[in-house]
Amino acid sequence: MSILKFLGKRLVFSIFVLFGLSLLIFTISRVLPGDPVRMALGPRAPEWAVENMRAQMHLDKPLYAQYYYWLTEALHGDLGQSLFTRRPVVQDIKEFLPATLELALFAGVIMAFFGILLGAVAGRYSNTWIDNSVRIFSYVGVVTPSFVFAILFLLLFGYILRWFPTAGRLSPGIARPPVITGMVTLDSLLTGHFATLGNALWHMVLPAVSLALGGMAQEARITRSTISDNLRKDYIASAKGFGVPERLVTLKYLLKPSLIPTVSILGLDFASLLGNAFLVELIFNWPGFSRYGINAMLRKDLNAVAAVVMVLGVVFIIVNILVDLVVAWLDPRIRLGAERGK
């Protein structure tokens, strides 16, 4: 099966990339000018305490040995201790990551669905007023930083119109559902707390939409141009000539192959979405991983910074593998193992 071989290749490649990434992150986090241990313990800690902690974190050994320890411990699921919260970093990740994943997934679905929808409609009715409005929307979406969207939405829908809450994941009076996945929406769905589910979704609308708009504009632009190109292809004309129903032509013969370029850049758009979550979470006071990451960065909390970047690297790689699988499904040349391109 070529698809398994394809997947295997991707996995091997991902492991290599993660290894390289760990090396990069390690280098970045260790070239810090100044003494992280001294910074964590404060200027008045006795010298022996500093020495102890340094030995405990292997900071007294040469760099390659430090990397070896860091990597072996990381492979055993130990990403070290946060210099600031003094808790294992893994525990912090478990607590904060689900909130961000939930937000990013929700935003990603909005981005992909509406981006493709807008692009498809604009491409189908190209050079009409619909197309022009989608084009204007795309420009606004592409040039506006997501933190600006977040601030505008907060102001308009949060403070002026009061349609949506301005901060957090749940309203103060509502209890969190029992933790299964850590994602409030999924947990409340699984345990049947539908009021909580509604409340959680309501809190998610503004941050998710501000995250999604930039990528949505990109997706819409790309889908529009492939659709309007493919619409003029001979095979569409011949399908219509054979009397294939309009709906089938549009959905199967036009839309499916036209999605290949769109889906291929979904991974990249999801990456910038994860990056922008760092800013949007700050604005909406979203108790997530990105806010944790920013705080770690502002406090120069080495282990936490390294862990945050590594985890996001893993998430990004998983998303990209999924994207590749979808592309393989859409593109028979890949699925059937034929030579790609030229």
Binding stretches for other proteins (CB under 8 A): 13, 16-18, 20-21, 23-25, 28-29, 31-33, 139-140, 142-145, 147-148, 151-152, 154-155, 159-160, 271-272, 274-276, 278-279, 282-283, 293-294, 296-298, 300, 305, 308-309, 312-313, 316-317, 342
Side chain identity, residue 203: H
Side chain identity, residue 145: P
Tokens representing 290 are: 């990105």
Contacting residues for 82 by C-beta, under 8 A, at least 6 apart: 88, 89, 92, 296, 301, 303, 304
Task: Report the residue number, 21 or 244, with the smaller CB distance to other proteins.
Answer: 21
Are 116 and 249 in contact by the 8 Å Cβ rule? The answer is: no
> Whole-angstrom Cα distance, residue 193 to residue 314?
31
Least distance (Å) between residue 1 CB and other proteins:
25
Least distance (Å) between residue 92 CB and other proteins:
16
> Whole-angstrom Cα distance, residue 106 to residue 208?
6
Task: Report the residue number, 141 or 177, with the smaller CB distance to other proteins.
Answer: 141
Task: Report the residue number, 191 or 272, with the smaller CB distance to other proteins.
Answer: 272
Least distance (Å) between residue 321 CB and other proteins:
12
Are 265 and 271 in contact by the 8 Å Cβ rule? The answer is: no
Side chain identity, residue 207: P
Least distance (Å) between residue 147 CB and other proteins:
6
Task: Report the residue number, 107 or 154, with the smaller CB distance to other proteins.
Answer: 154
Task: Report the residue number, 340 or 342, with the smaller CB distance to other proteins.
Answer: 342
CA-only gyration radius of the chain, Å: 24
Least distance (Å) between residue 327 CB and other proteins:
17
Are 143 and 276 in contact by the 8 Å Cβ rule? The answer is: no
Are 111 and 276 in contact by the 8 Å Cβ rule? The answer is: no
Least distance (Å) between residue 28 CB and other proteins:
6
Least distance (Å) between residue 272 CB and other proteins:
6
Task: Report the residue number, 148 or 251, with the smaller CB distance to other proteins.
Answer: 148
Provide the CB-side half-sphere exposure for 201 (13 A, CA).
12
Provide the CB-side half-sphere exposure for 250 (13 A, CA).
9
Task: Report the residue number, 40 or 239, with the smaller CB distance to other proteins.
Answer: 40
